[in-house]
């Protein structure tokens, strides 16, 4: 069964208790369950990860690029958290590999502070899902599964 990498950046480990008015009360473990169940129904496994460290996320994108080339990975669902708005390293990593990356944000970043309006990932992402809560993860998995079927 091919896999989908669901990659989460800084502070998303605090989901459920972090600013619930903005991010809701769903925990990251709940999001993992949602992703695993939804992907399984579509014939995919999920490799679910979270890191607070930029370099670890860069390494994960490189690894995803290799797996995509080998045909074992359909793509990446990527909520890079605040690194979205700051990380040229993550932009370069996604640009450097061929794996499709769907950028996801739980909150509508465009309705928030102006520093969240720019994304270094959007220009290199295969698609972007913003502001639909954790449902965005499910939609991103759908998009990757559809894309993989051609």
Nearer to ligand DQA, 73 or 109 (CB): 109
Known catalytic membership, residue 105:
yes
33, 62, 116, 147: residue in contact with ligand DQA (rule CB under 6 A): 116
In whole angstroms, how close is the CB of 107 to ligand DQA at the nearest point? 3
- Cα Rg for the chain, rounded, in angstroms? 14
User: Quick one: CA dihedral 75, 12, 21, 46, positive or negative?
Assistant: positive
- In the chain, the N- to C-terminal Cα span, in Å, equals 17
With a CB cutoff of 8 Å and minimum separation 6, the contacts of 29 are none
Q: Kindly identify the residues of this chain, within the stretch 45-104, that bind ligand DQA according to CB under 6 A.
A: 79, 81-82, 84
Q: Is 11 in the site for ligand DQA (CB under 6 A)?
A: yes
Active site residues: 23, 105
> Would you tell me which residues interact with ligand DQA (CB under 6 A)?
11, 79, 81-82, 84, 105-107, 109, 116
């Amino acid at each position: 069964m091919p896999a989908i990498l669901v990659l989460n950046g800084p502070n998303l480990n605090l989901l459920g208790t972090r600013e619930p008015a903005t991010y809701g009360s769903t925990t990251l473990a709940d999001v993992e369950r949602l992703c695993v169940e939804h992907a399984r129904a579509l014939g995919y496994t999920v490799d679910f990860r979270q890191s607070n460290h930029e370099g670890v996320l860069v390494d994960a994108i490189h690894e995803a690029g290799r797996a995509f080339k080998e045909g074992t990975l359909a793509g990446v669902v990527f909520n890079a958290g605040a690194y979205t708005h700051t990380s040229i390293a993550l932009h370069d990593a996604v640009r450097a590999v061929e794996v499709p990356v769907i950028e996801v944000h739980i909150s509508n970043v465009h309705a928030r502070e102006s520093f969240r309006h720019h994304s270094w990932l959007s220009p290199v992402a295969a698609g972007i899902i913003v502001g639909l809560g954790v449902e965005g993860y499910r939609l991103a998995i759908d998009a990757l599964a559809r894309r993989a079927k051609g």
